[in-house]
Structure 1
């Protein structure tokens, strides 16, 4: 049996009885207008609407589509909507379990369906980035000859994970994470529509807010949690889904955390201060609270990057590259896997040796500049790459450091008003101990000692 996402029997059953099947299945969009989020892809005349034959376009305008975005935002749903709108067969494969053999079987089935019944096929290939180059090459004949309309999904940058011949034949659509407003609209539609819960229960704001946090931007997770909570409420004879009922059914307590209020800043502050204080366990607690409350992982990653320079600095020069790498990883993978990356970075930063000299040094330098302690750039340091510079004394007498032993030339660099001023005062913690030894020797050489 072909791995169709929806068999004809299942669709017919849903049409006859809208309450059949899980809520997430019943609320699956049937048209592009029912898709939540992705407004940038759904505007009139967009490539996606032309793909399904709207706006005077042709569904044959692209032989392949690549959907790129984080997990749980509707890549499979969009593929199904395209298939339904164009009345094509829909076959789904996952690159995790399928190989060249399975791909060739689907392609052969598509050729038979087209030849025998005149029915074209949409092949949805999930996680195409897991296919090797040879496996991706096996798709090219079907795409080039239009035996199938390939819709491939990936959570990784397709410019790095998809072969160039396939990418050049594809319409690349970048999907954006679902917002709370997107999911709120979906939940409210599910509560009221006949194919959903048909108005059988209501959902107060506090319970709705908790469902949004539990969902973590995933539409299917939001609908599954709503269905479980609604069932529990109805079993108790209640027409309202209370916060307590939601907590019982999803087995997660609501965390007091308002992403737009004081809790947002208080918990974020506590995370950074725990890292600064080297209390790795407290830091992980606050990180967990932020993750569980649905905080934007990119916000957390930005705070960690700041901490790496503000509180660790040269005591561990690897801290900042690690935090930057974590931020890049978080942006690429999203939740839930991003929690592992954030934990990795938080533990490393909390246990790193600490130094705030980068903070105090630039703070002292800025304070002098803002107080008017600036002065003219010494003449020998000024630009000498123009006619007349020598006559002005610019760049005259400058000693090129690479021409002297040790590559440190005894000359004045700071303006006269700041000559001899010290901003950087290194600690003896971690790797900064080396800088403490070096800076004194360098300063002595600069003075001509």
Structure 2
């Protein structure tokens, strides 16, 4: 309609008009090949807002001449879904086919997904779901196994620029009749500030065009774009992929000793409104896991950072977060404690029935002493250097096992050298990247980095 928003008027009318999604629907893609043979599988289109999920769904249905029935996971219930499936069954008996498009399919509960499952399997309907969330976590496994997941990317600056220029030229659906021009700086600013969202870019362009027309100008300037965008925030989900991907980049940057990258990803999270205590908790984990004994002050500093963030709140809490991130990035690194725990846990699980050696048991009663509890135990503080060298502390089957393998950086090197000299042990150096698989079960906190 002429009075529809510009983003709605400029929706592509064919798959060829879609920009920025060649990998998903362009030549050589699975969908392009199947559409060419007149077939359309059930798919889930997974991508950020404004990347074209709804438009592509409509165009896919049109390409195979199927009826297109849109549903919203927010407003549609099981009864409506059953009615749509019943209509699709009747159409199928007459030789037709139906594409059921479920927007925000990640909001469908298990019961709703179970209703559509057998009809997707039998081919009564072709399902196209759209989601901004990772389908691996939000779609039930039986349904996920019956669909193809197609990943859509946020539009790059070149694609946004192409859409903007197309809207400025188009006299039928766009702004062409207004004969507007646009500063190069304004185009670049809009393409960059849209954050890959075509809908946001075209909405801002329409507002900027009104602002330029309101002052009697035929030229859209950067100031018009800034005013139209206002304080537009980038897309960020506090429980989905952006949340986990960004914290992962943050942790890996600090682990890799890059303070600049760490600060950048911290800035992205702070600007998007991420929970600051979540960030602080990750820094505490990193201090113990990745800096460890190479700098024993890292952990208390990270804990102090978490306390400061809780005490201050935001935005001031970002300052201790930045200080802690820089400190941890600059600190020497050692994962010796993390890896040692993994090795110890492996043996602990395998030898859980091993008795505690008698010399390590406390003889709390005379009867226990008569049974040998505490016999032969050497009190460390009575020994040279306060080390009972040669005394066994492990179960008999594990005597000689070494779980701790020292790092060679910072304070750890000095601590380990003193300990080895006192105990007469040979050096056992932690190999780079060495880690038992079991450790992932110990510290796993939901894949946060």
Structure 2-normalised TM-score?
A: 0.58
CA distance in 2, matches of 1:37, 1:253: 22
- After TM superposition, the structure 1 = structure 2 runs for residues 363-402 of structure 1, keeping only pairs within 5 Å, are 402=394
* Partner residue in 1 for 2:210: 231
* Partner residue in 2 for 1:244: 223
* Partner residue in 2 for 1:447: 422
CA distance in 1, matches of 2:268, 2:124: 53
Q: Deviations over 1:22-54 (max 9, x none)?
A: 2111211111111111211233242212343x2
Distance 1:144 1:207, change over 3 A: same
- What SS is found at the alignment partner of 1:138? helix
Distance 1:362 1:248, change over 3 A: closer
The Cα shift of 1:285 comes to: 11
- What SS is found at the alignment partner of 1:136? helix
Q: Is the CA contact (8 Å cut-off) linking 1:313 and 1:358 kept in structure 2?
A: no
Q: Is the CA contact (8 Å cut-off) linking 1:73 and 1:178 kept in structure 2?
A: yes
CA distance in 1, matches of 2:261, 2:33: 50
CA distance in 1, matches of 2:134, 2:47: 9
Distance 1:234 1:400, change over 3 A: farther
- After TM superposition, the structure 1 = structure 2 runs for residues 113-132 of structure 1, keeping only pairs within 5 Å, are 113-115=91-93, 118-132=95-109
CA distance in 2, matches of 1:214, 1:357: 31
Q: Is the CA contact (8 Å cut-off) linking 1:409 and 1:445 kept in structure 2?
A: no
* Partner residue in 2 for 1:28: 11
Distance 1:355 1:120, change over 3 A: closer
The Cα shift of 1:399 comes to: 11
Gaps of 5+ in 1: 1-13, 255-267, 276-282, 293-300, 322-342, 364-397, 427-438
* Partner residue in 1 for 2:148: 171
* Partner residue in 2 for 1:315: 300
Pick the aligned partner of 2:116 from 99, 121, 139.
Answer: 139
Pick the aligned partner of 1:82 from 57, 60, 76.
Answer: 60
The Cα shift of 1:133 comes to: 2.2
- After TM superposition, the structure 1 = structure 2 runs for residues 29-428 of structure 1, keeping only pairs within 5 Å, are 29-52=12-35, 54=36, 57-60=37-40, 62=41, 64-115=42-93, 118-194=95-171, 195-198=173-176, 200-252=179-231, 272=263, 287-288=270-271, 313-315=298-300, 347=318, 350=321, 356=327, 359-361=330-332, 402=394, 423-424=411-412
Q: Is the CA contact (8 Å cut-off) linking 1:308 and 1:349 kept in structure 2?
A: no
Gaps of 5+ in 2: 234-258, 274-278, 307-313, 335-389, 425-449
CA distance in 1, matches of 2:328, 2:48: 38
Q: Is the CA contact (8 Å cut-off) linking 1:183 and 1:212 kept in structure 2?
A: yes
Q: Is the CA contact (8 Å cut-off) linking 2:263 and 2:325 kept in structure 1?
A: no
Q: Is the CA contact (8 Å cut-off) linking 2:283 and 2:325 kept in structure 1?
A: no
CA distance in 2, matches of 1:219, 1:358: 37
Q: Is the CA contact (8 Å cut-off) linking 1:88 and 1:121 kept in structure 2?
A: yes
Q: Is the CA contact (8 Å cut-off) linking 1:124 and 1:150 kept in structure 2?
A: yes
CA distance in 1, matches of 2:132, 2:304: 27
Q: Deviations over 1:109-165 (max 9, x none)?
A: 32344456x542211112222222222110023212322211012223223322233
Q: Is the CA contact (8 Å cut-off) linking 1:313 and 1:354 kept in structure 2?
A: no
Distance 1:170 1:401, change over 3 A: same
CA distance in 1, matches of 2:212, 2:263: 40
The Cα shift of 1:221 comes to: 0.8
Q: Is the CA contact (8 Å cut-off) linking 1:401 and 1:408 kept in structure 2?
A: no
Distance 1:216 1:354, change over 3 A: closer
Pairs aligned (count): 319
* Partner residue in 2 for 1:369: none
CA RMSD, Structure 1 to Structure 2 (Å): 4.8
CA distance in 2, matches of 1:104, 1:239: 53
The Cα shift of 1:400 comes to: 9.0
Q: Is the CA contact (8 Å cut-off) linking 1:247 and 1:253 kept in structure 2?
A: no
